[in-house]
Structure 1
Amino acid sequence: MSEHVTQVVEQRPEFPVLDTLRAVGALAVLTTHTTFQSGEYGRNGAVGTLLSRLDVGVAIFFVLSGFLLSRPYLARAAAGREHPSTGRYYWKRFLRIYPVYAVTVVIALALIDENRGLGVVQWFRSLLLVDIYTSPRLPQGLTQMWSLAVEAMFYLVLPLLMLAALGRGKGLRPGRVGAVLGALVAVSVWWVLSLAGVVAESSAGVPMSWLPAYLTWFAVGMALALAHVLHQSRGDAAPAPLRHLTTLAGMPGACWAVVAGLLLVAATPLAGPSFLFVASPAEALTKHVLYAVIGGLVVLTGIFTVPGSYARVMSAPALRHLGVISYSTFCIHLPVLHLVMSVTDYGLFQGHGWQIWALTLVVSLVASEVLYRVVERPGMRLGGLRPPWGRSSTSHPKSTAQTTTTR
């Protein structure tokens, strides 16, 4: 790429709206879990089905991860610079997710009655984040962690994916990146329709909860990262589809209207059952594609944000702070939900949905604030230290796009 491109592609852009969108994803996940426990899925018709589809919050998380973690690679390539330090990248990812995760595991396994009596092997499986590969179900209070296990695997393979997309040389070749993203989507579709079933025959885990099933969602985020870098590097000379994408992003109301419409489609039988029934491969793929588009549209509004009321509201400090603590909210909300159900004596599937939701939300936010201040923030400060492997940290300058948390 030219020296002009090196000057215009930002290496540390800020995306304040994405913080709030992380909070939206966490709230969606918390809501779908609390309304499941209360039985709202089955007693409220179409509304109950819509509540079950708020698991789309996971798709938002995965698209965010794909965008935030791949963009530093793409931006450096466009600027003619070498790849980020892999050792430092792994070190920061570990410090970002593991401390709060480990605390949550200890709380869930030690304090939730259903987990009493679990042996040392199960403790190690959970602490190592490998439950989805070794067991058909996760311990109580940790069932949401299947998605964190998927994220962790994506973190591990991302440097290899970016090597395939960018090569070892300096420079950005959009066609090569697009080919890799297309391959990820193809693998994901194949896995959902066929391969997961084949692997399940010889696996003790849950192959439909493994990374290959969700590569499309990460690929959408990576495609948005490529679009953002190309938009910055080419400006008015960008291809027409890219200009149309940025125009759409400038109409957040339209994006959210489409998201609402797609959620309604996802609430139909086309996307499979909403309760404890297994979807067919075709239904699973339909839901998968719908969620990919929804996640992409939601995240799009936080990338190419234009000045206006949407940007102003979604960048409000209070909302952004909810996004900052959203990873702790994601981790701790199920142990809190079990606490709420135990203390109130609300029965499983016996109603009281909004009371359960409100109590779980309030207590989770308080617990999240504590976890953020006591566990998360000290851990992230360690991220500034030189890791015990890899190149010097000076070869990998701080990138707001990368250090913005994806959970």
Structure 2
Amino acid sequence: MAGHPPGRRRGGGRPMSGEAAPARGRAGAIDGFRGLAALSTVAFHVWQQYFRYDARGSHPPVDNPVLGAVFSLEVIDLFFVLSAYLLTLSYARAAIDGRSTRPARLFLFRRAIRILPLYVLAVLVVWASRNPTLPGNWRDLVEHLTFTHVFDQQRIFYTLGPTWSLSLEVLFYLALVALGPLAVRVCRPLRRRRSRVAVCAAGCAFLFAAPLAWIAVAHYGFGVPHTDWVVYFGPQARFGGFAAGMGLAVATVALGDRGRLGPRTALLVAVLALAGLFALSLDSGPENFTFTFYHPIAAALWTVLLLGTLHVRRRTVWQTLLTSRWPAAVGLVSYSLFIWHEPVMLQLHRAGLLPTDQAGFPLALLVTFLVTLPVAAASYWLVEYPASLLGRLKDHRGRPREFYPEPATR
């Protein structure tokens, strides 16, 4: 038994349970991130509904800057960074370490069954309820079903308001299946690992810098107002969040297991990133620098937070919180919660079940949570989970899987 490194099988096989723990903790932490981000998204949109403007200025529903910064923290950039990180990992491993990648058709097939069944159902249900007579706002329906509403200044927030971000997700999927294999081909002839890492990192840096330049030119060069949604919500302005996640994937692959952060360092990195996100939300008043560049800065801070949470040697206090039962449970239904929370909230408001004055914000938040969480759970088990079983129709190479009947037993 002597002479074998602890935590490894004889012969250098797969890591044993001691080294598999970080991977399990990483998966649980990702679910926890999704759960907390989904809850924060619901709180943010309820906050928006109770924010008032008049001739005397703005009036937040909670007259406390600290609580206001917590409720008004936008987490959409976290979803972008996390999604890009997870989906880019296989390409980063292939480009840097020569691993294999999944075929593009399999990648797109699995992405389609992940988002389309619930999304299409929700769009049809909500659109039909708001357009009882045909043809209705048919252009809004077409744009939502084709994920092009992000390019329409008038209809970007129609039907399912928060799903403008899904348009960017779909565009990112298409970009990734083009850029990922390209990076692998460019890196393949390079003999030195350091050179392959540099090429991948430079590509991610360029993709992050380009939206920064676009925002700067649009705002400071042409004076485009922040309410021009197509300019500031389109892929040319928001792709930086995905680029940050791609950079995180490259960084974690480049660092490898030896580069994992120790518990104290990881906790310090996570605390500093959270403090930065809080300060950013607290300081992002209209027309100042942090407001203009809020989303690129937030994406960079979320990236640092994810690094200090996922690329660690041992579990930290922060990771323990994320992997606890209730964040993980909400994370399981987070996509359904994201899809349904706005129409449910608006329906509660129309039915008179939410208070109408600003002082009723805490009660409105509680009622919205109590109703949307069961709706999200039902949506997951009735729509999302059955649709996910379609993934078994293709094997790991993207070919149709052959199913054989179970042999008869006596």
Task: Provide the TM-score with structure 1 as the length reference.
Answer: 0.79
Provide the secondary structure at the position in 2 that maps to 1:181.
helix
Alignment pair present for 1:131 and 2:149: yes
| Whole-Å separation in 1 of the counterparts to 2:117 and 2:96 | 34
Aligned-pair distance for 1:107?
2.6
Counterpart among 48, 72, 85 of residue 53 in structure 1: 72
- Residues 38 and 84 of structure 1, relative CA distance in 2, 3 Å threshold: same
Conservation of the 8 A alpha-carbon contact between 2:44 and 2:72: yes
| Whole-Å separation in 2 of the counterparts to 1:294 and 1:349 | 35
Query: What is the match of residue 407 of structure 2?
Result: none
Structure 1 gap ranges (5+): 237-242, 274-278, 396-407
**Amino acid in structure 1 at the alignment position of 2:154:** P
| Whole-Å separation in 2 of the counterparts to 1:307 and 1:5 | 25
| Whole-Å separation in 2 of the counterparts to 1:194 and 1:248 | 41
Query: What is the match of residue 184 of structure 1?
Result: 207
Conservation of the 8 A alpha-carbon contact between 1:185 and 1:219: yes
Conservation of the 8 A alpha-carbon contact between 1:36 and 1:52: no
| Whole-Å separation in 2 of the counterparts to 1:288 and 1:330 | 19
- Residues 116 and 325 of structure 1, relative CA distance in 2, 3 Å threshold: farther
Conservation of the 8 A alpha-carbon contact between 1:41 and 1:52: no
| Whole-Å separation in 1 of the counterparts to 2:73 and 2:364 | 16
| Whole-Å separation in 1 of the counterparts to 2:153 and 2:358 | 28
| Whole-Å separation in 2 of the counterparts to 1:193 and 1:114 | 43
- Residues 5 and 265 of structure 1, relative CA distance in 2, 3 Å threshold: farther
Query: What is the match of residue 246 of structure 2?
Result: 222
Larger radius of gyration: 2
Cα-to-partner distance string for 1:356-382 (whole Å, 9 max, x where unaligned): 111111211111111111111122111
* 1:5-404 alignment runs, 5 A limit: 13-14=23-24, 15-39=27-51, 41=60, 44-47=63-66, 49-51=68-70, 53-55=72-74, 57-112=75-130, 118-167=136-185, 170=188, 173-194=196-217, 206-232=230-256, 235-236=257-258, 243=259, 246-247=261-262, 250-252=265-267, 255-268=270-283, 271-273=284-286, 279=287, 282-305=289-312, 306-344=314-352, 346=354, 350-386=358-394, 392-393=397-398
- Residues 144 and 205 of structure 1, relative CA distance in 2, 3 Å threshold: same
- Comparing both chains, which one has the higher relative contact order based on Cα–Cα distances under 8 Å and sequence gaps of 6 or more? 1
- Residues 248 and 136 of structure 1, relative CA distance in 2, 3 Å threshold: farther
| Whole-Å separation in 1 of the counterparts to 2:223 and 2:108 | 28
- Residues 34 and 192 of structure 1, relative CA distance in 2, 3 Å threshold: same
Aligned-pair distance for 1:286?
3.1
Structure 2 gap ranges (5+): 1-10, 52-58, 401-410
Which 10-residue stretch deviates more, 331-340 or 318-327? Answer: 318-327
Task: Provide the TM-score with structure 2 as the length reference.
Answer: 0.78
Provide the secondary structure at the position in 2 that maps to 1:54.
coil
Conservation of the 8 A alpha-carbon contact between 1:53 and 1:263: no
Question: How large is the Cα RMSD of the aligned pairs?
Answer: 3.6
Conservation of the 8 A alpha-carbon contact between 2:31 and 2:332: yes
Conservation of the 8 A alpha-carbon contact between 1:96 and 1:380: yes
Query: What is the match of residue 7 of structure 2?
Result: none
| Whole-Å separation in 2 of the counterparts to 1:355 and 1:116 | 37
| Whole-Å separation in 1 of the counterparts to 2:132 and 2:364 | 19
Query: What is the match of residue 404 of structure 2?
Result: none
**Amino acid in structure 2 at the alignment position of 1:296:** T
Query: What is the match of residue 54 of structure 2?
Result: none
| Whole-Å separation in 1 of the counterparts to 2:37 and 2:133 | 27
**Percentage identity across aligned positions?**
22
- Residues 216 and 49 of structure 1, relative CA distance in 2, 3 Å threshold: same
- Residues 22 and 228 of structure 1, relative CA distance in 2, 3 Å threshold: same
- Residues 75 and 86 of structure 1, relative CA distance in 2, 3 Å threshold: same
**Amino acid in structure 1 at the alignment position of 2:35:** A
**Amino acid in structure 2 at the alignment position of 1:255:** A
Aligned-pair distance for 1:188?
1.0
Which 10-residue stretch deviates more, 288-297 or 92-101? Answer: 288-297
Aligned-pair distance for 1:180?
0.4
Which 10-residue stretch deviates more, 131-140 or 43-52? Answer: 43-52
Provide the secondary structure at the position in 2 that maps to 1:138.
coil
Cα-to-partner distance string for 1:3-55 (whole Å, 9 max, x where unaligned): x9998999x95422111001111111111100111227365252464156321
**Amino acid in structure 2 at the alignment position of 1:27:** L
| Whole-Å separation in 2 of the counterparts to 1:19 and 1:319 | 7
- Residues 225 and 6 of structure 1, relative CA distance in 2, 3 Å threshold: farther
| Whole-Å separation in 2 of the counterparts to 1:106 and 1:369 | 20
Conservation of the 8 A alpha-carbon contact between 2:267 and 2:317: no
**Amino acid in structure 2 at the alignment position of 1:66:** A
**Amino acid in structure 1 at the alignment position of 2:217:** S
Query: What is the match of residue 55 of structure 2?
Result: none
**Amino acid in structure 1 at the alignment position of 2:214:** W
Aligned-pair distance for 1:82?
3.6
